[in-house]
Chains A and B, each alone.
Chain A
């Protein structure tokens, strides 16, 4: 699932790739071509991360300022040529402990999703077209957390500006899937490492709905950048959610066998 890691990872593929990419961006003419070229480069730089295992804390806040915490572990597997695979195991709240969510992300069709319910000791498939809904009552929807794939959007470079102290491209992206909950997103991608710094989400009526900020980026394996904190603020409801990565390990040796219906039941 929960390639919540994914959007964080824009990598740097080394000097060669970088120079190639930059030259392709330079060649691009229209704002649309430039936007697409940047998106491709963003994807390219994160290529090859393999698999990860991480522990994550989600802090939910309502307009009253009350907080609630969810804890979960995430396993993710990079899939070439399609969306990635993800597995989320819930640890808190206690009454959903051990519940596990398996997600096969797809580029051109609806994701495949299963949920293992330990209280029932059964795996249930769930309809996943509704990817626009909130994840665990938070301000994140699945689609915010799903793996980034270039084909999911159309692009247009709007301008350049400094955000979080980084010179960034500001790109308007429009989802190609009509089941998306958004009419568009405005994305700030820094020019130094092709990391997403900020995203503004516009709802279906084209009003600004949420802003996601990527904070405390760290580099892993000398290559892959991950934001330690993803902070989502809903401007309409004044609710917010922070997604905080407590630990992350790369290349722990996960394979397809760890991401199937049977593997769900083996989890603890």
Chain B
């Protein structure tokens, strides 16, 4: 069956080509449906509890997707005519931002004060920028803002050297908000560039959720524009070195291009969207497809050099590569398919697409590729390959020094793997971006000079209409606010208890002694009503109070702490309320919290996924090698590289983000290829009656070079990915490249030394020389 199929390819290349190209075109046509989603919400499934809590809170109160403009006058103070004028101008322009709901700044802050028996609620500086700012206004702004808990450490730094204008936007409820995000970001950048020219003495910084989403879009596009061409270039260089033939390189490139376009088109047919994660699909598929092609073309060349006819060389190359390439493609696909355990939809998409792409590349490599090889006038000079000598020398060296190599390599593996627990799960969305990206730079600046970008909203629900006016509840809120502010990591708290205290003071003739909570519920309710009736458009309290005033929202801004600390903070808050006010229902929600939880949960589920990958892949190996013993031995070289990789990662970075959670599964599927090749050759020699030493020699001689080549290809591919400006993709690429390199070292050093130690028994001699591979083919094909 297999042979008849392989013969057909050589016999009717045009037919194969036609059918193949038609299928590829049909799949690729689905690419028309593809679109890019840049918002962070793609990382969360619809049933994600933190996403649901967040959505619900946004509907109950108001949205808080935002853009922050931070201004830093080089003079070191914002309290001067020029800077306040600038802030007023930015504020006025900011209202024109598409989808904006509210703008909060130093100049439009609604300051309250008593004037005789009246309550004056007015703009701290001015609603419009066309007023003359007097020294008196400057002085008042400084005095009021630096003493106002709502402003200090948020709108204004305690030293007055930076100030923030915060624009809250409400994106329309639809799936793909990318265009809106890009539009908002472009608008705000336009404002900034306008004033940059006008105020060269002021530095501007742009951050916030919208800018983050926009950076996801921009950097993904940047990645697509730079990584994919870089990958093509790397592939071209590698192929021209390895194949030394323009036509063979062209044939391989065609396989790569068709694999990628059919895979992406397929995702389009399935209605998937492109995301920051799935933009890595082309690079990864390309890497894995190259490996397939190189195996087949190398054999083809080898055959030609041995003097075979073109047809014979092709058929023979397919024959001997079919099974190994199928097995290695299948194990790689299994590794990627276990991404389905992930809680992060784009990672699931990534896994499924690469798995599809890998299997497709396999199919194309055994159909279209040989058809091209048949049709293209490829010529190869007859010559002997001399590299085999080096591999044999290495094998000799290893066999001689095995008593040293085994303990040394074991020690290194154990020591490096022992570092793994030093890693911590940590998902900080801003840190997904490299430090040289403007968004990251601006966010870091804001974190250092004003407040962090990590935020948690707490809805405190009294479960009773008008409950927030209850003095007992307000006392709890005030205590809670103080408790939060006492924490080191807390930068700022927006709490209605501050507003109540201020109103109480205002209503008592601005007596500082009266800066305390109203003592009766009706008093509190009426103060609040009066205050609400005095606030202008866009500056109301709907972002802090729900409709029936049963629930209020406390917004806490934190330093850029890790996900573990965020989750711990949420738990501490729940405990605080359980202890102090058990009747208050507390809900926490925010993008930061969503990322914190998804990191932890995803790690748990990917551990399950990786475990399953180990079981499935080992099972496949035992089956393919027809040896339980070798299958179990293979576990060591399959798992050790990942363990070592994460051990080294602990030294390099130590924080594990979403992108890294999939590395174990992915690497397992890829590095197992080395083991499959090595062990299958080893076993083949053993069943032919050779002892372990000779079997190791044989394995090195026959697949040593091929392993070098595929490792080089894979390492290069993932190192290209490592150049991504997203740490999500970049870290994943870097760690995977490292693990692939380690896997080769383990397979070349530890595995043979270990086999020489434990595999001393004599194998039952099997006459069938093609036993292993033939068996693989018939069982899996």
Name A residues whose Cβ lies closer than 8 Å to a Cβ of B.
60-64, 66-68, 90, 93-97, 99, 101, 113, 115, 117-120, 122-127, 129-137, 141, 178-179, 181, 203-205, 207, 236-238
Is B144 part of the binding interface, using a Cβ–Cβ cutoff of 8 Å? no
Interface string of B129-173 (1 = CB under 8 A from A): 000000000000000000000000000000000000000001001
Given contacts A95-B522, A127-B120, A205-B95, A136 and B532 within 8 Å (CB-CB):
yes
> In the bound complex, what is the Cα–Cα distance between A125 and B507 (angstroms)?
11
Q: In the complex, are the beta carbons of B529 and A130 less than 8 A apart?
A: no
Closest residue of chain A to B173, judged by CB? A238
A137 to chain B, nearest CB (A): 6
In the complex, which residues of chain B have a beta carbon less than 8 angstroms from the beta carbon of A119? Answer: 520, 522-523, 525-526
Given contacts A95-B466, A118-B522, A237-B62, A132 and B122 within 8 Å (CB-CB):
no
Q: In the complex, are the beta carbons of B121 and A96 less than 8 A apart?
A: no
Question: Can you list 13 A-B pairs with a CB-CB distance of less than 8 A?
Answer: A66-B546, A95-B524, A117-B527, A120-B523, A122-B117, A125-B117, A125-B119, A126-B118, A134-B542, A137-B547, A205-B98, A207-B98, A238-B173
> In the bound complex, what is the Cα–Cα distance between A237 and B122 (angstroms)?
25
> In the bound complex, what is the Cα–Cα distance between A101 and B532 (angstroms)?
13
Q: In the complex, are the beta carbons of A179 and B548 less than 8 A apart?
A: no
Is B534 part of the binding interface, using a Cβ–Cβ cutoff of 8 Å? yes
Closest residue of chain B to A69, judged by CB? B548
Given contacts A134-B540, A181-B537, A124 and B530 within 8 Å (CB-CB):
yes
Q: In the complex, are the beta carbons of B529 and A126 less than 8 A apart?
A: no
212-237 of chain B: CB within 8 A of chain A = none
Q: In the complex, are the beta carbons of A117 and B534 less than 8 A apart?
A: no
Q: In the complex, are the beta carbons of B533 and A135 less than 8 A apart?
A: yes
Partner among B58, B97, B118, B526 whose Cβ is within 8 Å of the Cβ of A118 = B526
> In the bound complex, what is the Cα–Cα distance between A94 and B549 (angstroms)?
12
Closest residue of chain B to A205, judged by CB? B96
Is B755 part of the binding interface, using a Cβ–Cβ cutoff of 8 Å? no
> In the bound complex, what is the Cα–Cα distance between A178 and B536 (angstroms)?
13
In the complex, which residues of chain A have a beta carbon less than 8 angstroms from the beta carbon of B60? Answer: 62-64, 66
> In the bound complex, what is the Cα–Cα distance between A60 and B96 (angstroms)?
27
In the complex, which residues of chain A have a beta carbon less than 8 angstroms from the beta carbon of B99? Answer: 207, 236
Q: In the complex, are the beta carbons of B465 and A93 less than 8 A apart?
A: yes
Closest residue of chain A to B92, judged by CB? A204
B155 to chain A, nearest CB (A): 19
Q: In the complex, are the beta carbons of A132 and B128 less than 8 A apart?
A: no
Q: In the complex, are the beta carbons of A96 and B525 less than 8 A apart?
A: yes
Partner among B128, B520, B536 whose Cβ is within 8 Å of the Cβ of A130 = B536
Is B59 part of the binding interface, using a Cβ–Cβ cutoff of 8 Å? yes
Q: In the complex, are the beta carbons of B59 and A133 less than 8 A apart?
A: no
In the complex, which residues of chain B have a beta carbon less than 8 angstroms from the beta carbon of A207? Answer: 98-99
Besides the known contacts A99-B526, A115-B533, A181-B538, 12 further A-B residue pairs in the complex with CB atoms under 8 A apart: A62-B60, A62-B547, A66-B548, A95-B524, A96-B525, A99-B529, A113-B533, A129-B122, A130-B536, A207-B99, A236-B99, A237-B101
In the complex, which residues of chain B have a beta carbon less than 8 angstroms from the beta carbon of A238? Answer: 59, 173
> In the bound complex, what is the Cα–Cα distance between A122 and B127 (angstroms)?
29
Closest residue of chain B to A113, judged by CB? B533
Size category, B interface: 35 or more
Closest residue of chain B to A64, judged by CB? B59
Partner among B56, B96, B507, B536 whose Cβ is within 8 Å of the Cβ of A133 = B536
Is B182 part of the binding interface, using a Cβ–Cβ cutoff of 8 Å? no
Q: In the complex, are the beta carbons of A178 and B121 less than 8 A apart?
A: no
Q: In the complex, are the beta carbons of B526 and A137 less than 8 A apart?
A: no
Q: In the complex, are the beta carbons of A137 and B536 less than 8 A apart?
A: no
> In the bound complex, what is the Cα–Cα distance between A62 and B525 (angstroms)?
21
In the complex, which residues of chain A have a beta carbon less than 8 angstroms from the beta carbon of B59? Answer: 62-64, 238
Is B395 part of the binding interface, using a Cβ–Cβ cutoff of 8 Å? no
465-482 of chain B: CB within 8 A of chain A = 465-466, 469
Q: In the complex, are the beta carbons of B170 and A136 less than 8 A apart?
A: no
Given contacts A63-B59, A64-B60, A126 and B533 within 8 Å (CB-CB):
yes
Is B539 part of the binding interface, using a Cβ–Cβ cutoff of 8 Å? yes
Pairs A-B, 5 closest by C-beta atoms: A132-B537, A181-B537, A95-B525, A68-B548, A130-B536
> In the bound complex, what is the Cα–Cα distance between A209 and B507 (angstroms)?
34
Q: In the complex, are the beta carbons of A137 and B545 less than 8 A apart?
A: yes
Q: In the complex, are the beta carbons of B536 and A132 less than 8 A apart?
A: yes
Interface string of B103-129 (1 = CB under 8 A from A): 000000000000001111110000110
In the complex, which residues of chain B have a beta carbon less than 8 angstroms from the beta carbon of A205? Answer: 95-98, 100
Closest residue of chain A to B170, judged by CB? A236
Is B635 part of the binding interface, using a Cβ–Cβ cutoff of 8 Å? no
Q: In the complex, are the beta carbons of B535 and A130 less than 8 A apart?
A: yes
In the complex, which residues of chain A have a beta carbon less than 8 angstroms from the beta carbon of B587? Answer: none
In the complex, which residues of chain A have a beta carbon less than 8 angstroms from the beta carbon of B532? Answer: 133-134, 136-137
Closest residue of chain B to A114, judged by CB? B118
In the complex, which residues of chain A have a beta carbon less than 8 angstroms from the beta carbon of B523? Answer: 117, 119-120
> In the bound complex, what is the Cα–Cα distance between A179 and B537 (angstroms)?
10
Given contacts A134-B542, A137-B547, A181 and B507 within 8 Å (CB-CB):
no
Q: In the complex, are the beta carbons of A133 and B535 less than 8 A apart?
A: yes
Is B604 part of the binding interface, using a Cβ–Cβ cutoff of 8 Å? no
Q: In the complex, are the beta carbons of A124 and B465 less than 8 A apart?
A: no
Partner among A64, A93, A127 whose Cβ is within 8 Å of the Cβ of B549 = A93
Closest residue of chain B to A99, judged by CB? B526
B500 to chain A, nearest CB (A): 13
> In the bound complex, what is the Cα–Cα distance between A90 and B540 (angstroms)?
20
Most A-side CB within 10 Å, residue of B117, B507, B520, B547: B547
Interface string of B535-576 (1 = CB under 8 A from A): 111111110011111000000000000000000000000000
A223 to chain B, nearest CB (A): 33
510-534 of chain B: CB within 8 A of chain A = 520-527, 529-530, 532-534
Given contacts A137-B540, A236-B170, A95 and B534 within 8 Å (CB-CB):
no
> In the bound complex, what is the Cα–Cα distance between A97 and B469 (angstroms)?
14
In the complex, which residues of chain A have a beta carbon less than 8 angstroms from the beta carbon of B127? Answer: 179
Partner among A99, A124, A141 whose Cβ is within 8 Å of the Cβ of B537 = A141
> In the bound complex, what is the Cα–Cα distance between A238 and B174 (angstroms)?
13
Most A-side CB within 10 Å, residue of B56, B95, B119, B526: B526
> In the bound complex, what is the Cα–Cα distance between A94 and B520 (angstroms)?
13
Q: In the complex, are the beta carbons of B547 and A60 less than 8 A apart?
A: yes
> In the bound complex, what is the Cα–Cα distance between A178 and B127 (angstroms)?
10
Most B-side CB within 10 Å, residue of A113, A120, A129: A120
> In the bound complex, what is the Cα–Cα distance between A133 and B533 (angstroms)?
7
In the complex, which residues of chain A have a beta carbon less than 8 angstroms from the beta carbon of B118? Answer: 124-127
Interface string of B32-67 (1 = CB under 8 A from A): 000000000000000000000000101110110000
Closest residue of chain A to B130, judged by CB? A178
Closest residue of chain A to B534, judged by CB? A126
> In the bound complex, what is the Cα–Cα distance between A29 and B539 (angstroms)?
42
In the complex, which residues of chain B have a beta carbon less than 8 angstroms from the beta carbon of A126? Answer: 118-119, 121, 530, 533-534
Closest residue of chain A to B467, judged by CB? A95
